[in-house]
Structure 1
Amino acid sequence: MLTHPTCDRLEAIGLTGMAQALHEQRRAGAMFQSLSFEERLGLLVDREAAERDAKRLATRLRFAALRHAACVEDIDMRSSRGIDAGVMAHLIDGSWINRHENLLITGPTGLGKSWIACALGNKACRDDRRVVYHRVPRLFQMLAIARGDGRHARVLKAIERTELLILDDWGLSVLTPTERRDLLEILDDRQGRGSTIVTSQLPVDQWFEVIGDPTLADAILDRLVHNAHRLTLTGDSMRRKMTTMKTLDQGAQT
């Protein structure tokens, strides 16, 4: 019988999904005997395709480095945060990414801005898109280090190739001249080529002051805002609600 040598050969040439499925068919015995050769081969090919899809997704998620393990299926539409179900369905659909449009998520702290951005990033990864997440302060730190060791152009090129860029915690401090130039270069490279999600506690009409330089602020906001969808969250802090619920649950158990 050639079952074991065949499995070894499949694994040697990288068809690990087919090898595993063949092992399972062999162990199952009579269960697969009634199937034709083409049907059994089809099951092996389907398993290999599923294994490869899973590996690609794992690679995309690892590259994205999302802050939260969030999924769009878990977005709470019942809480009063100003989320319109129709708008959210459109964002989950992802067609706006095909059109290279942006998304601006604003609102007070604790309402789940970062979580929603990561959930949309997770969905984009599942849709076979290249995604990367950055907290804005750490992105500028990374670019400063890259400029010092000669990797600056390479890092900017990698960001340019990203289909969905998530910039989290925008507007925590006024940008320095170098940060303004880096941000303008990032957005200019991506204009018409990729989509960007920005989360911020500040409303969009205050972003001009955060950028600091009127000329660069006009250029940056023109590239970021003019084709952007906006999701403005309102209401009480979700973190505070969760903390209160945990406290009440602990009190009920004592």
Structure 2
Amino acid sequence: MLNHPTHDQLQQLRLFGMARALAEQQAIPDITHLAFEERLGLLVEREVTERDSRLTSSRLRRAKLKQAAVAEDVDYRAARSLDRTLFNRLLTGSWVAEHQNVLITGPTGVGKTWLACALANQACRQGKSVLYLRVPRLFEDVAIAHGDGRYGKLMMQLAKTDVLLLDDWGLALLTDSARRDLLEIFDDRHGHRSTIVTSQLPVANWHESIGDPTLADAILDRLVHNAHQLILTGESMRKHKNSLTQKQVSE
């Protein structure tokens, strides 16, 4: 007789997982054969699971990942020189806990952004805050923030994000202002947070792409020296997918 008011009280307390589990238990004829502690344990376990799921969904929304990539869908058969052992080690999240970085380089179309998003998705599932930004968009946002008074707030947000994913590094030469902003970002994050960078340029060419030798040394010292590198090769996977699609249509 107490189940209905108990269910309502669980809803009022926003214990929605427990409320749903209680309703489901009521529909199971043999549930009374379980001890009180066992039934309570099932209710609490359901609440924890649903809260974790909601928090993960919230982190993924805030991350704004470009692609809905997940670790379970990584294609290790593609001919792109993906180091499977290293990638699986990265999926454990130890690099985030140790405030290390991941640099993913290779020609266009080999899946750099997809793999980076899979790592970022995994970090969200492991309870870390994540933010995806294309590097050109990052500099636009920072430039606007300089003008409207949000610079300090934006830099604080970037500094506090557990995993910052910077996509399309090195597409254009940096302005002096962009170089200094980048140094501030990496200086705030160095030894405290982790960064993923994707680029078509080999890491050896990043110094030249930054422009100023002194600032380049300082930026790369904070980014590269404690980083894991995934160097991808091969033809564009988009070409392969397109050829398969055309083949299926012709058949």
User: Fold match, TM over 0.5?
Assistant: yes
What TM-score comes out, normalization by structure 1 length? 0.96
Q: CA RMSD in A?
A: 1.0
Match of 2:20 in 1: 20
Opposite residue 26 of structure 1, the aligned amino acid is: Q
Match of 2:109 in 1: 110
Question: Take 1:204 and 1:127, find their aligned partners in 2: how far apart are those partners?
Answer: 28
Matched, 1:52 2:42: no
Matched, 1:184 2:198: no
Opposite residue 5 of structure 2, the aligned amino acid is: P
Give how far 1:126 is off: 0.9
Match of 1:87 in 2: 86
SS at match of 1:156: helix
Question: Take 2:171 and 2:83, find their aligned partners in 1: how far apart are those partners?
Answer: 27
Match of 2:224 in 1: 225
Give how far 1:80 is off: 1.2
Matched, 1:165 2:171: no
Match of 1:72 in 2: 71
Question: Take 1:27 and 1:148, find their aligned partners in 2: how far apart are those partners?
Answer: 60
**Per-residue displacement from partner, 1:143-184 (whole Å, max 9, x unpaired)?**
122222211111111111111111000111001111111110
**Identity of paired residues, percent?**
56
Describe the shift of the 1:3–1:201 C-alpha distance in structure 2 as closer, same or farther (beyond 3 A). same
Unaligned runs of 5+ in 2: none
Match of 2:213 in 1: 214
What TM-score comes out, normalization by structure 2 length? 0.97
Question: Take 2:184 and 2:19, find their aligned partners in 1: how far apart are those partners?
Answer: 47
After the TM superposition, which parts of structure 1 deviate over 4 Å for at least 4 consecutive aligned residues? Answer: none
Give how far 1:2 is off: 2.2
Question: Take 1:89 and 1:47, find their aligned partners in 2: how far apart are those partners?
Answer: 29
Give how far 1:233 is off: 0.4
Opposite residue 141 of structure 1, the aligned amino acid is: E
Unaligned runs of 5+ in 1: none
Matched, 1:61 2:60: yes
Opposite residue 19 of structure 1, the aligned amino acid is: A
Match of 2:233 in 1: 234
Give how far 1:75 is off: 0.9
Give how far 1:23 is off: 1.1
**Per-residue displacement from partner, 1:99-145 (whole Å, max 9, x unpaired)?**
11111100000000000000000111111111111111111111122
Give how far 1:244 is off: 0.8
Matched, 1:121 2:120: yes
Question: Take 2:115 and 2:174, find their aligned partners in 1: how far apart are those partners?
Answer: 25
**Per-residue displacement from partner, 1:22-52 (whole Å, max 9, x unpaired)?**
1111223x13121111111111111100111
Give how far 1:238 is off: 0.5
Give how far 1:199 is off: 0.2
Question: Take 2:88 and 2:3, find their aligned partners in 1: how far apart are those partners?
Answer: 48
**Per-residue displacement from partner, 1:201-235 (whole Å, max 9, x unpaired)?**
01111111211111111111111111111111001
Question: Take 1:20 and 1:147, find their aligned partners in 2: how far apart are those partners?
Answer: 49
Number of paired residues?
A: 251
Match of 2:10 in 1: 10
Opposite residue 146 of structure 1, the aligned amino acid is: A
